[in-house]
Amino acid sequence: MSTMLEVSGLNHRYGAGEKAHVAVNDLSFTVEAGQLASIVGPSGCGKSTLLRCIAGLIKPTSGRVSLHGDDVSGVPEDLAVVFQDYSRSLFPWLSVAKNVEFPLRWRNLSRSERRTRAQEALESVGLAGVGSKFPWQLSGGMQQRVSIARALASKPALLLMDEPFASVDAQTRFELEDLTRRVQRENGSTVLVVTHDIDESVYLSDRVLVLSKSPATIVADLPVGLPAERNQITTRESAEFVTLRGEVARLLHGGAPEAVTAASDAAEYELAQQDAAADAATKAHTKS
């Protein structure tokens, strides 16, 4: 496997002097081509900052980001980002098809090629019939599918997703997780997803990078050995899934895996909350 993304000694500081805030501190990791990696970390720890540095949207204070061997300076052509807030990332005055085609305008593609690509991308996210509608005529989950289609249409070497399913309901979230896994496998894409959700980080990925609280450093890099074919109900019930999510939760709450502390009690509480939400979503899923 070749290395798609290499982040080495990355630091990012906002501001200067006494008011400076170090958001990312000496982060190094690589993502292999065709891998789906998740990044999970506490709120405010620097996840979005890291993604913005990788996407070339901000220049890191120091350190290096390279995409298939080329240093990133400015937004690379073969990289796409899906942001959390779909309502602000789609143009309301453009049809769905035109939104998906939009970034292709800067590619050397004919009009008909752009149309075909957009159509294929919409089909791959299950939205073949909605190209002529406007984003505001779609549900939140559908709008987020449009954002995913727009990212896929450019056939990116690396797809970055920043909490892509945080604004949708639990059932839609399950569907979008499965969609992400399916298109990632079909296209052999390399994907880096930031999420707050411990279960999602395990369910979605081949690997989970756990970040510390601010400034972000890597506290663990856990391989996910679950079978490639996953199922929202049976995978989440499997012993390996339950063990991994427990490990991620304990790491996030600052305790060693074997240490039974207040932190792990908090993790248990969070897991119980997530169980209740997942049960509710599963019931809704089974009914529909």
Ligand X SMILES: Nc1ncnc2c1ncn2[C@@H]1O[C@H](COP(=O)(O)OP(=O)(O)OP(=O)(O)O)[C@@H](O)[C@H]1O
Residue numbers at the binding site for ligand X (CB under 6 A): 14, 21, 23, 41, 43-49, 196, 214
Give me 142's structure tokens. 């559908």
Contact map string, positions 204 to 243, toward Mg ion, x by CB under 5 A: ----------------------------------------
Q: Is 11 near Mg ion (CB under 5 A)? A: no
Q: 14 or 134, CB closer to ligand X?
A: 14
Contact 187, 158 (CB under 8 A): no
What type of residue is 200? Answer: E
CB of 118 to ligand X, least distance (A): 29
- Contacts of residue 126, defined as CB under 8 A and 6 or more positions apart, other chains included, come to 145, 179
Residue 288 structure tokens: 């529909």
Which does residue 44 touch among Mg ion, ligand X, none (CB within 5 to 8 A, set by kind)?
A: ligand X
Q: How far is CA 2 from CA 42, 84, 263, in A?
A: 30, 29, 38
Phi, psi of 34 (to 5 degrees): 85, 5
d(CA 176, CA 181): 9
Which residue lies nearer to ligand X by CB, 149 or 252?
252
185 binds, among ligand X, Mg ion, none (CB under 5 to 8 A by kind): none
Give the whole-angstrom CA distance, residue 37 versus residue 209: 7
Stretch that binds Mg ion, among 41-49, 106-114, 178-186, 279-287 (CB under 5 A): 41-49
Q: How far is the CB of 162 from ligand X (least distance, A)?
A: 7
Q: Which residues bind Mg ion (CB under 5 A)?
A: 48
